[in-house]
Homo-oligomer: A and B are copies of this chain.
């Protein structure tokens, strides 16, 4: 039932702001009512559509159930919806006249009905209440000048909170003075690319599998990008030579899911010490490890040669645009200068995250998320065993995604078939560097963290339908 909501891809808030009447009394109830009315009026919720229960929709939107129930009641009274005992709330069958004008601007294509692309956590689980509480506390306690232009490295409150957290949770050797807050991992990587180029670096080694967006950023800084070989022990750094840096995901290779073997961790740090190269450690999901103790950050082995990059995009939400770098001392000044006063992050979000971390709310959220994702992972593994015995699951000891190995030659047709089912799904080839020296494999990269809670079951169903 609740899937109809996701299926129809109704974007409540977008529509709600279509109401252009300003005024302090425009309430949530009106916003929800307007959005639903608009969705019915424009046909995006066709006659007969069954709406999710007020409980499910309220949970989805993070608002009180009564607000949704009131909005439903208003629309039943207006004739847009019908409510019947036992059959729930539906869009009225009779054709309704279309009052008012057209929507303001053409809508972009809505989200796919089901989404298993990796890279995003379950955004419906964002801890809204705790976040707002932290915002309130942070803003109340802050002296007025936190709202001024600030230190390009980021708010000292946040750098201090991060230093404590990273030492404790990720084994990073951190100090607030060496932390630079940035607007997402990609922002940090762009700054590092600029600095490396300015230092005279020509190329950066990367992994055979990864994100083309990252490689493009480095190329955009004028750097060549060379993939390293990959095998069951992870990325093989033994061939590293004159490269200025190597970009790695040591705790949980993205997307293959293996940790970097301990011998190779040593090899890469030795290379950096020997040549003066830098290791860029992308610790994108280091918080999420299920079957054993998390691997400590590679940076702990040599904080003078490894740049640690962490992010709130997986642990909280990408929309926060908050990430952090722990830099070798000699790099702090260069990165700060490259950042200048142009790329600062909003002070209030920084203060809020600092309070969120120091109050313990971040730890609680990560713990709760770890449990939830672990359950999802276990459900996925069991479901695959039952529905798709030819599929092998790997890379599942950590993180928010799994690699599903497929019979040879089937990746492309499976992804195509998913598109027809309105299931967004990425094949492993999406993440393979064009000149990777690694065996070509047919596989899917399944982001089981991505679907919102209410859509999880139906999304899995869609996945099983497209697997061989």
> A residues engaging B (CB < 8 A)?
11-14, 16-17, 20, 22-24, 26, 28, 31-32, 60-63, 104-105, 111, 120, 123-124, 126, 128, 131-132, 135-137, 139-150, 156-157, 160-161, 164, 175-177, 183-184, 186-187, 190, 213, 217, 317-322, 341-349, 354, 357-361, 452
Other A-B contacts than A13-B141, A184-B341, A319-B348, 15 sampled, CB-CB below 8 A, are A13-B143, A22-B358, A24-B359, A26-B359, A32-B141, A60-B144, A61-B143, A63-B141, A105-B177, A126-B147, A146-B319, A147-B320, A149-B318, A217-B342, A322-B346
Instruction: Determine the chain B residues whose CB is within 8 A of the CB of A17 once the complex forms.
Output: 156-157, 160-161, 354, 358
Known: A23-B360, A140-B128. A11 touches B145 (CB 8 A): yes
7 cross-chain pairs, A with B, having the tightest CB-CB distances, nearest first: A319-B347, A147-B317, A147-B319, A124-B144, A123-B144, A123-B147, A149-B318
In the assembled complex, the Cα of A349 lies from the Cα of B344 at a distance in Å of 14
Report the nearest B residue to A176, measured CB to CB: B105
Instruction: Determine the chain B residues whose CB is within 8 A of the CB of A60 once the complex forms.
Output: 143-144
Partner of A135, one of B132, B150, B177: B132
Most B CB within 10 A of own CB, among A16, A61, A317: A317
Q: How many copies does the complex hold?
A: 2
Instruction: Determine the chain B residues whose CB is within 8 A of the CB of A140 once the complex forms.
Output: 28, 61-63, 128
Do residues A62 and B139 form an inter-chain contact, with CB atoms below 8 A? yes
In the assembled complex, the Cα of A190 lies from the Cα of B136 at a distance in Å of 33
Instruction: Determine the chain B residues whose CB is within 8 A of the CB of A145 once the complex forms.
Output: 11, 111, 123
In the assembled complex, the Cα of A24 lies from the Cα of B357 at a distance in Å of 10
In the assembled complex, the Cα of A104 lies from the Cα of B24 at a distance in Å of 44
Q: Give the distance to chain B from A313, nearest Cβ to Cβ, in Å.
A: 8
Report the nearest B residue to A137, measured CB to CB: B28
Most B CB within 10 A of own CB, among A17, A63, A104: A17
Instruction: Determine the chain B residues whose CB is within 8 A of the CB of A190 once the complex forms.
Output: 342
Partner of A452, one of B20, B144, B347, B358: B144
Do residues A176 and B143 form an inter-chain contact, with CB atoms below 8 A? no
Partner of A318, one of B147, B175, B217, B360: B147
Report the nearest B residue to A132, measured CB to CB: B136
In the assembled complex, the Cα of A123 lies from the Cα of B319 at a distance in Å of 26
Partner of A149, one of B319, B342, B452: B319
In the assembled complex, the Cα of A46 lies from the Cα of B161 at a distance in Å of 29
In the assembled complex, the Cα of A213 lies from the Cα of B340 at a distance in Å of 10
Do residues B13 and A146 form an inter-chain contact, with CB atoms below 8 A? yes
Instruction: Determine the chain B residues whose CB is within 8 A of the CB of A24 once the complex forms.
Output: 359-361
Report the nearest B residue to A450, measured CB to CB: B148
Most B CB within 10 A of own CB, among A143, A148, A318: A143
Report the nearest B residue to A351, measured CB to CB: B13
Instruction: Determine the chain B residues whose CB is within 8 A of the CB of A28 once the complex forms.
Output: 137, 140-141
